[in-house]
Amino acid sequence: MILNKLRCMATVLAICISASSFAAAPPSVETYTKPPLIQPYSLTISPTGQYYALISPRNDRSSLLIVDRATNKVTANITPDKGQFIYRYWWVSGERVVLAMAEKEGGFSEPFSTGELWGINADGKNNRYLFGYRGAESTGTNIKRGSATYGSAYVLEPIADQNNTILIGIRYWNASYEAGYVDIARLNVNTGALIKSGGKIPLRLVDEENILVDDSRKVRVISGSLSDNYNRLLYSDPTSGEWQVLNDQKQSDKAIIPLAMIGGSQEFYAQVSESGRPDYLAVMDPRTRQIRKVYEPVDADIGKLMMKAGNRDAYAVQIFEGAGRGGFAFLDKAAPEAALTRKLSEKFQGELAYVTSFSDDGRFASVFVTSDVNPGEYYIHSRDGDTLSAALKVRPDIDIDASAVMEPVSFKARDGLTVRGWLTVPNAPAGKMPMVVMPHGGPYGIVDRWEFNDEAQLLASRGYAVLQVNFRGSGGYGLDFMNAGVQEYGGKMQQDLTDGTRAVMAKYAIDPARICIYGASYGAYAAMMGAAAEPALYKCAIGFSGNYDLQIRRTEGDTTKTVWGRNYLNTILKDDPVWLAERSPTKQATRIKAPVMLIHGGKDERTPPAHAEAMRRALISAGNPPAWIYEETEGHGFFDPQKRLNAYQQIVDFLDKHIGSQAK
C-alpha cells in the first residue's frame, strides 16, 4: 500500500501541525476540553465516490462540510445559527445529503436532536428545510423552508427512490413525556413533501438503528419495548402486512436486537443477549423463527457490524476478545472489504482501523484510525493504486508520541467475580505514581473501552495514573454481568472499585498515600460513596453532576417523568427508606474525611441541583466544607467551552494540591 505525501488542506480545515510546535511542558488543559476539529466517526464517502462529508464541531455550533475528493475543495457548507448543531447526516444519493439537527438547550451537556431534517446538494445548491417544527420560520440561514410539522423525524432508509423519497418515521409531539407511536412515511428529499403511507410501528420505545427495511423498501423488522422495559422483536409479514412477535424477552429471557437485513432475503443479523454467555451474533429467519449462531465470543459482547459496499451484507463484526483492545471477526473472509480491513490492520499495527463507508462500487472507502493514544485520523482509500490520502486529524494538536498508554486490568472481586478495566499510565513516571480512580457514569450498560479518553489523557499528562474499572452492572460483558449490578448502588458495584484499586496498587508502582476518586453522574455518586466507605484509601474525592441522594433519585429528575424511567428506577433501587439512606452519600457525609470538590449545573435535569446542594450541606454539617463549582446555565455536564475549561482547570488544581505536585 502506498501512502501519499502528507499535505495540508488549508482550504478545508487547519489540520496540519509541525513537530517543532510541541513543547516539553504538558499540553494546556484547553487542548483536552475544546471541541475536536473533526467529529469522530463522522466522515463518510459519497455513493459515487466523488465527494466526502464530515462534521466539524465549533464552540457554539457545528458545520457539515462536503468536499470534492479529487480537488480537496469544499463544495458545500451548512453552518446553522448559534446553539444549533449537526446531529447526523445521510447520503441519500450521489449528489444529495439529508441531515438531522440538534440544539443545546436545557439540562444536558450535549446537544439533543430536535427531530428536524435539512437537505443540501453536494455542490451547495438547493438548501432546503425538509421537516420540523420551524416550518417557514427564519433562523438567519439561507435555507428554503416548508410547512411546520410538530414532531420528530427518524431516517429509516436513507437511499432515495426514483421519486426522490426516503423512508422516515415520525413521532408526533404531545404534552406528555411518554413516547408516542411512530408513523411511517416517505419524504421527498428535494421538496419536503410528505406522503404518509406506511402505518405505525407498534412499539413505543424504539431505536431507529434497530428498525430494518428490506429490499422492497418496507419496514420489515423492529425491536423495542412498550412501557415495561422488556425487549420485543417484531416482524411484518410481507403477505398479510400483520406484525408477528418473534421474541418477547419477558417470556424467553433473552433479548434479540436486529442489526441489518441480509440483502435479497428476509433473513437478518441480530445481537442475542441471554444468560450464561456474552452477547453473540446470529442470523434469524423470521419465517421459521430459527436462529443460527454466526459468531460466539468468549470474553466480551460483540460490537458493530461492518457492512460491505452497498450495505446489503456484512463482512465482519467488531469484537473485544482477550485483552479487550478490539478487532474484527470476519464473516466473509474472501470479500474484498475483508481484505482491505486486514491490510489496514497490518499497516496501522497497534491501532484500530475502521472502514466507515464505501462508495457503492467499492472503489473508494473512508478509513478511521484510532487507539488509546491517537484521538483519530481519517484517510480516503482508493482501490486504484491501493493508495491512502493525507491524514485528516481529529485533534491535530495532540502529540501521539506523548500520549499515555492504556494497560488492561483484570482482577477477582472479593466474591470471586472477574472484573476488568483499564489503567492509563503516564509517560516516564518519577517514582511511585499518584492515581485517580475514575468510575464511569450510567451505570448500567455503559463500558469503558480501549480508546482515546480526553479526561484520562489530561490527567496522565499531569503525571497521574488513571484507573477505569468496568464494575458489575457495566455493559460489554454479557447479560449476567450487567444484572449482577442491579440494586448494588453503594454495594458490590462500589466494592468492585475498591477491589480494583487495591489490585492495581499491588501490581503497579502506585503511591498508596496519593489516590483520589473522581467521576461524573453515577461516577460522582461512586466517588462520594468511595470516600465514605474507604476513608483511609482515598485522599480526595471529586463529583461532577452527581446523584448523591437516592431518595431524590427516585422522586426527582427527568427519569421519573416516564413509565419507562419509573420502572427502571424501581428495578435498580429498593423502595426502602433505610436501604436508600444507607446507600446515599448525603447520609454518609460524616464518614467522609477527605477533601471534596463538587461541580454541578443549575439546569441539570438528569441529576437536579438538589443533589449537589444536599451533598454540600451534609459535608458542611460534618465539618468538611467542599470546594464548590456551580454554573447556573449549565446542565448535566458542562458544554460551554469556557466554563468547561474552568471546571477542568480547577479539577487539575485540586488534584495537584491534594495528591500531586503541591501535596504535602
pLDDT, tens digit, 9 for 90 and up, residues 575-587: 999 999 999 999 9
Q: What is the dihedral of CA 240, 243, 246, 250, to 10 degrees?
A: -150
Q: Which residues of 550-569 are buried (b: 16+ CB within 10 A; e: fewer)?
A: bebbbebbbbeebbbbeeeb
What are the DSSP calls for 25-69, one per residue? SPPPHHHHHSPPSS-TT--EE-TTSSEEEEEEE-SS-EEEEEEET
Q: Where residue 144 falls among pLDDT bands split at 50, 70, 90?
A: low
What's the average model confidence in pLDDT over 491-519?
97
What's the average model confidence in pLDDT over 565-580?
91
CA–CA dist 592, 300 (Å, integer)? 36
Q: Is residue 22 part of a domain?
A: no
Domain, as residue range, for 377: 318-398
Burial of 334 from C-beta contacts in 10 A (0-12 / 13-18 / 19+): exposed
CA–CA dist 577, 583 (Å, integer)? 10
Among residues of the chain, what percentage have pLDDT more than 70? 93
- Residue 15 pLDDT exceeds 60: no
- For 189-236, how does the pLDDT look when each residue is reduced to its tens digit (9 = 90+)? 999 999 877 788 888 888 888 999 999 899 999 999 887 788 999 999
HEC assignment per residue over 590-616: HHCCCCEEEEEECCCCCCCHHHHHHHH
Per-residue model confidence (pLDDT) at position 109: 58
Query: Do residues 377 and 438 both lie within one domain?
Result: no
CA-nearest of 508, 498, 451, 501 to 476 is: 451
Per-residue model confidence (pLDDT) at position 140: 42
Per-residue model confidence (pLDDT) at position 19: 35
Query: Do residues 459 and 509 both lie within one domain?
Result: yes
Secondary structure of the chain: what % helix, strand, coil (to 5)?
Answer: 20, 35, 45
Per-residue model confidence (pLDDT) at position 561: 81
Q: Is residue 461 part of a domain?
A: yes
Per-residue model confidence (pLDDT) at position 225: 87
Q: For the chain, give the mean pLDDT.
A: 90
- Residue 164 pLDDT exceeds 70: yes
Q: Is residue 275 part of a domain?
A: no
- For 78-132, how does the pLDDT look when each residue is reduced to its tens digit (9 = 90+)? 988 888 899 999 999 999 999 999 887 654 557 788 899 999 999 999 999 999 9
Q: Is residue 63 part of a domain?
A: yes
Query: Do residues 355 and 415 both lie within one domain?
Result: no
What's the average model confidence in pLDDT over 154-175?
91
CA distances from 290 to 227, 230, 246, 268 (A): 27, 21, 10, 11
Domains: count for the chain: 3
CATH of the domain at 324: 3.10.450
What's the average model confidence in pLDDT over 290-310?
96
DSSP letter (8 states) at residue 510: E
What's the average model confidence in pLDDT over 527-548?
97
Query: Do residues 350 and 467 both lie within one domain?
Result: no
- For 635-655, how does the pLDDT look when each residue is reduced to its tens digit (9 = 90+)? 899 988 899 999 999 999 999
Query: Do residues 480 and 424 both lie within one domain?
Result: yes
- Residue 238 pLDDT exceeds 70: yes
Per-residue model confidence (pLDDT) at position 107: 47
Query: Do residues 393 and 533 both lie within one domain?
Result: no
CA–CA dist 249, 230 (Å, integer)? 6
Per-residue model confidence (pLDDT) at position 18: 34
Query: Do residues 532 and 611 both lie within one domain?
Result: yes
Query: Do residues 488 and 340 both lie within one domain?
Result: no
Per-residue model confidence (pLDDT) at position 625: 98
CA–CA dist 659, 657 (Å, integer)? 6
- Residue 261 pLDDT exceeds 80: yes
- Residue 490 pLDDT exceeds 60: yes
- Residue 246 pLDDT exceeds 50: yes
Say if residues 424 and 440 touch (Cβ distance below 8 Å): no
Q: Is residue 223 part of a domain?
A: no
- Residue 4 pLDDT exceeds 90: no
- Long-range (24+ apart) CB contacts under 8 A made by 357-360 are 357/44, 357/45, 358/45, 358/308, 358/309, 358/310, 359/45, 359/46, 359/47, 359/48, 359/49, 359/309, 360/47, 360/48, 360/309, 360/310
- Residue 139 pLDDT exceeds 60: no
CA–CA dist 120, 126 (Å, integer)? 6
Q: Is residue 641 part of a domain?
A: yes
Per-residue model confidence (pLDDT) at position 175: 62
Per-residue model confidence (pLDDT) at position 664: 67
CA-nearest of 349, 559, 548, 530 to 436 is: 530
Handedness of CA 60, 66, 69, 74 (dihedral sign): negative
- Residue 621 pLDDT exceeds 80: yes
What's the average model confidence in pLDDT over 511-533?
97
Cis peptide leading into residue 57 (ω within 30°)? no
CA–CA dist 620, 258 (Å, integer)? 51
Query: Do residues 469 and 368 both lie within one domain?
Result: no
Query: Do residues 175 and 323 both lie within one domain?
Result: no
* Residue carrying the nine cell digits 493504486: 385
- Residue 45 pLDDT exceeds 70: yes
Query: Do residues 153 and 98 both lie within one domain?
Result: yes
Q: Where residue 24 falls among pLDDT bands split at 50, 70, 90?
A: low
Give the residue from 373, 398, 423 where a domain finishes: 398
Ranges 11-15, 155-159, 559-563, most confident: 155-159
- Residue 17 pLDDT exceeds 70: no
Which amino acid belongs to residue 311?
Answer: N
Q: Is residue 227 part of a domain?
A: no
Give the residue from 371, 398, 425 where a domain finishes: 398
Give the residue from 349, 369, 398 where a domain finishes: 398
C-alpha cell at 129: 428545510
Q: Where residue 9 falls among pLDDT bands split at 50, 70, 90?
A: very low
CATH of the domain at 447: 3.40.50.1820
Across 156-165, 424-433, 496-505, 541-550, least confident range: 424-433
Say whether 406 sits in a helix, a strand or coil: strand
Per-residue model confidence (pLDDT) at position 136: 55
- Residue 565 pLDDT exceeds 80: yes
Query: Do residues 478 and 375 both lie within one domain?
Result: no
Q: Is residue 288 part of a domain?
A: no
Ranges 99-108, 533-542, 562-571, most confident: 533-542
CATH of the domain at 51: 2.40.128.660
Per-residue model confidence (pLDDT) at position 80: 86
